[in-house]
Chains A and B, each alone.
Chain A
Amino acid sequence: MSLDSHSSDPMNPGLVERKFKVIGSRVARPDGVDKVTGRARFGADASAPGQLVGLVLRSPHAHAQIVKIDTKAAEKLPGVKAVITSVDLPDYTNGDRSMLDILENCMARKKALYDGHAVAAVAAIDAATARKALALINVTYKILPHVTDVDEALKHTAPIIHDHIFTEGTPQKSEMPSNQNKHASYGHGDVEQGLKEADVVISRSFKTEQTHQGYIEPHSCLASVSPDGAAEMWVCTQGHFVYRNQCAILLGLDANKLRVTSSEIGGGFGGKTHIWAEPLALALSRKANRPVKLTMSREEVFRCTGPTSSTSIDVKLGVKKDGTITAAFAELRYHGGAFPSTWAELGAQTAFACYDLKNVQTISKDVVVNRPKTAAYRAPSAPMAAFAVENAMDEAAKAIGMDPLDFRIKNAAKEGTKSSYGPVYGPIGIGPTLMAAKNHPHMKAPLGKNQGRGVACGFWFNFGGQTCVDVNITPDGNVTIAQGTIDVGGSRASIAMAVAEELGVTYDHVRSTIADTSSLGHNDMTDGSRGTFSTSMAAIFATRNAITVLRNRAAKTWEINVDDVEWKDGSAHPIGKGHGNLAPLSLKDLAAGAGNTGGPIAGHAEITADNAGVSFGTHIADVETDPETGRSLIKRYTVIQDAGKAMHPSYVEGQYQGGAVQGIGWALNEEYVYGKDGRLQNAAFLDYRIPVCSDLPFIDTQILEIPNPNHPYGVRGVGETSIVPPLAAVSIAVTNSTGVRQTHIPMSPPRVLKSIQDAKAK
């Protein structure tokens, strides 16, 4: 693999210089027509002869012991074919606590741990019968004290949710069960000394509320278990191989007997990386001996799938008057819902990753509370940490009379910087995104009355993972690809583009589909911004293997040595002496003759695409806040991010815009509201408000292309970083529009109005 060289100056690296024919163009998306005409099949569109309707009975209590579940009346109801409880999901996890946690989240065992926790499920001939059956299930609960706030859960007076959780990672081994499942710290240098050296010390506390990914398509699956033990499942997911593996473990099946086919996906953003109701559908089908379709309602999606953590973060920054940061400290407290997690630790790793710091320390406390198990949400944990840190950066810059953007440029991490989470950076893109922001026309545009501008940076790791791809040449000389990573953000187009680029054919000759779990080796999920990065790499290698086959077939046809065959521009060409009269053989020619030269022509590659390279972005937000109501509107928004090489710029821009919009919703409106009874109060889109088009301006984007040396084309993952800066950029803009530092996300109108009134009262 070779890449074009680029400048070693991290503030001004060269752009990708390689000339591509297909990569970088804006080809038509292969799923576009089907999606706009309603032909595309999503999770709930699957059906099977004789299928039953599955419904789930959920706990109305935030924390309760399950004393007894009486299902007799439900089972006797005509039309009911199966009723299951945890008894029907025995523990096959063989001591794997993390898998047991997944099982317990799918179906409560001894205790209901949050409002909405599944306690039983039914399969019936129709939805009405299933609903009647749910009403006939009698659950006897013993209600226990609950805690839903992350800081409250850490108090010694808080009810202990699990007696098997002892805090991991503390210097002394924990002797008592705790709601803090993990403690971790990162950093280097001497923060106390750094604070002593500072001219100004900024110290602030921040809170962010729990949000949901808000994907439009609810979870849905159709499960069919045969009496011979073989099973099939059709499901919307970000990772059908992982769903296959985990469901097989929980159901006691061999993985090869469970074939999972993924549907089109109506959004996931991390929420469809976990299994939720799928094991229940399989268990119902197994018991009923009929296919069972289980589709969540929107209320269920909110109450019992995986929102993000709510957080509480303290930040301290020490700064000299010349803009040098002498010390940086943060303590981050995140909850994982009712199950152990490492979300706070991720926040601790990412919090100060944009900056070059001599003295830095982050401490993380991961906490369990009586809320649904949290899941990843696009660059998980980083947006909340960036919200706190970037606000402290903004406040520190203003305290020393320095432009906040110049302050960030002065302290930006660069090649050779020891990162706040440990390793030394190679070439990175934070400097270029900041410089692009400084030079962007947006920064020079005038602001109106009650308007403010905010700038913020963000970091995300990115990763690769296990991936395999088949490339097959059809008998007519076209190309099909079988990929195992779910196409969430356009990877089918990008993968087809990579194969076309390698083969030297046009994009319309190549088509990629998502293979089911019995047709390819294991593929990791589409998460961590890995889909296009890792799958395109596997596809490139698979195509190169296919080209080797093609050259061999040409050599056989010409009866010459394979070393005398070159693949160029979609055809085999003879090279060397004595072959001058041989006309090139096209892909079509070779495909037509494949039966006489060795059979079908194909290429396969399996890789572990490690070493994806870290990602940075800088956002600029203009906000207008009504001082009478506290309502804030986004007036202008710009995303600047490094894509390595943008394979399909429209998809990259879409990722940047989508992340920004989700972050804007998180910043201004979205919030899980729990009552004192520990029940979720707003499990519907009417009460949980995500931004719609009329709330937003066009989101402007600027793609920087700083090649990733660890990908054949220089590609970098782009799906997640764009959600990291918006909470900070928007909150800084509101701070500037109101004159009051905003420290609590979301900045809903009542919360902003109160902050203005409180400031006036001081």
Chain B
Amino acid sequence: MALSHIIHLWGALRPFADGAPTISVSASTIRELFRILTEKYPGMEPHIKRGVAVSINGQIYRDQWDTPLPQGAEIYLLQRIPGG
């Protein structure tokens, strides 16, 4: 059974959640989190398609959607970081 997590949204995603800085989502992995976000907040879908990074307890994941979301983890969604 998927665990419930508090998901911190960065500013660009908040308008799609009525301005809320955090939302509660039950998900086991990054993939499940993105699937639920796309279903519940369709406005986030273009951002997720363009690339959203997920910080789990301070470690930033850009690509590995199988990464589990541990119980009680601090989870932030961030824009996908480009580099030079």
Asked if A376 lies at the interface with its beta carbon under 8 angstroms from chain B, I say: yes
State which residues 1-35 of B face A: CB under 8 Å. 8, 10-12, 14-15, 19
Neighbour of B58 across the interface among A168, A173, A424, A466, CB < 8 A: A424
Q: A171-B19, A184-B79, A461-B60 are in contact. Are A424 and B10 (CB under 8 A)?
A: no
A-B Cβ contacts below 8 A, count: 114
Decide if the interface of chain A is mainly helix, strand, loop or mixed: loop
- Expressed in whole angstroms, the minimum distance between the Cβ of B7 and any Cβ of chain A is 11
Stretch in A7-15, A442-450, A524-532, A624-632 with 4+ CB within 8 Å of B: A524-532
Do the beta carbons of B15 and A170 come within 8 Å of each other? yes
Q: Nearest chain-B residue to A272 (Cβ)? A: B84
B83 at the interface (CB under 8 A from A): yes
Report yes or no: B10 in contact with A184, Cβ–Cβ below 8 A.
yes
The residue that A608 contacts in the complex, of B12, B14, B63, B81, with Cβ under 8 A, is: B63
User: Across the interface, which residues of A come within 8 angstroms of B84, CB to CB?
Assistant: 213, 269-270, 273, 375-380, 527-528, 720
Query: Do A423 and B10 touch (CB < 8 A)?
Result: no
Instruction: Determine the residue in chain B with the shortest Cβ distance to A613.
Output: B59
Chain B's closest residue to A364 (CB) is B11
CB distance from A489 to the nearest CB of B (A): 12
Q: Are B11 and A185 in contact (CB under 8 A)?
A: yes
Count of B interface residues, CB-CB < 8 Å: 26
A331 beta carbon closer than 8 Å to chain B:
no
Q: How far is A610 from B81 in the complex, measured between Cα atoms in Å?
A: 12
User: Known contacts A424-B74, A463-B81; is A610 also within 8 Å of B64 by CB?
Assistant: yes
Is residue B72 contacting chain A, with contact meaning CB distance below 8 A? Answer: no
Q: Which of B8, B11, B60, B82 contacts A610, CB < 8 Å?
A: B60
With a cutoff of 8 Å between Cβ atoms, the chain B residues found around residue A527 in the complex are 82-84
| Contact across chains for B67 and A421 when beta carbons are under 8 A apart | no
Q: What is the minimal beta-carbon distance from B30 to any residue of chain A, in angstroms?
A: 10
B-facing residues in A322-373 (Cβ within 8 Å): 342, 345-346, 349
Instruction: Give every chain B residue within 8 A of A423 (Cβ-Cβ).
Output: 55, 57-58, 60, 74, 76, 78
Complex Cα spacing A720 to B50, Å: 23
Task: Decide yes or no: A610 and B19 within 8 Å by CB, A345-B12, A378-B84, A527-B83 being known contacts.
Answer: no
Report B84 CB to chain A, min CB distance, Å. Answer: 3
Please, which residue of chain A has its CB at the minimum distance from the CB of B77? Answer: A422
Q: Determine if B83 and A98 form an interchain contact, defined as CB atoms under 8 angstroms apart.
A: no
Contact call A183/B63, Cβ cutoff below 8 A: no
Interfacial chain A residues near B81, Cβ < 8 Å: 346, 349, 461, 463, 528
Determine whether the beta carbon of B58 is less than 8 Å from that of A425: yes
Q: Which interface residue of B63, B78, B79, B84 has the most chain A CB atoms within 10 A?
A: B84
Tell me, yes or no, whether A426 is within 8 Å of chain B by CB: yes
Cβ B11 vs Cβ A530 within 8 A: no
Query: Are A528 and B58 touching (Cβ within 8 A)?
Result: no
Tell whether, in the assembled complex, residue B8 and residue A342 are in contact, meaning their CB atoms are under 8 Å apart.
Answer: no
A186 within 8 A of B: yes
- Interface size of A as a range: 35 or more
- Distance in angstroms from B40 CB to nearest chain A CB is 18
CA–CA, A378 and B82, complex, Å: 10
B14: chain A residues at CB < 8 Å are 169, 171
With A421-B78, A422-B8, A424-B57 known as contacts, the answer to whether A610 contacts B15 (CB < 8 A) is: no
CB contact between A463 and one of B57, B58, B60 (< 8 Å): that residue = B60
Find chain B residues with CB under 8 A from A464 CB.
62-63
Per the bound structure, the CA–CA distance linking A647 and B55 in Å amounts to: 27
Q: Which residue from B12, B78, B83 sits with its C-beta under 8 Å from A422?
A: B78
Tell yes or no: A182 within 8 A of B by CB.
yes
Separation of A425 and B55 alpha carbons in the complex (Å):
10
A345 proximity list for chain B (CB < 8 A): 12, 79
Complex contacts, B57 vs chain A, CB 8 Å:
423-424, 426
Q: Is the CB of A380 within 8 A of B83?
A: yes
Interface flag for A702 (CB, 8 Å): no
B61 proximal to A (CB < 8 A): yes
A 635-675 to B, binary, CB cutoff 8 A, 1 in contact else 0 = 00000000000000000000000000000000000000000
Task: Give 20 A-B pairs besides A184-B10, A269-B84, A610-B67 with Cβ atoms closer than 8 angstroms.
Answer: A169-B15, A170-B15, A173-B15, A184-B79, A342-B82, A346-B81, A349-B81, A376-B82, A377-B84, A378-B84, A380-B84, A421-B78, A422-B10, A423-B55, A423-B60, A529-B83, A530-B83, A610-B64, A611-B60, A613-B59
Residues of A near any B CB (own CB < 8 A): 98, 168-173, 182-186, 213, 269-270, 273, 342, 345-346, 349, 375-380, 419, 421-426, 461-466, 527-530, 608, 610-614, 710, 720
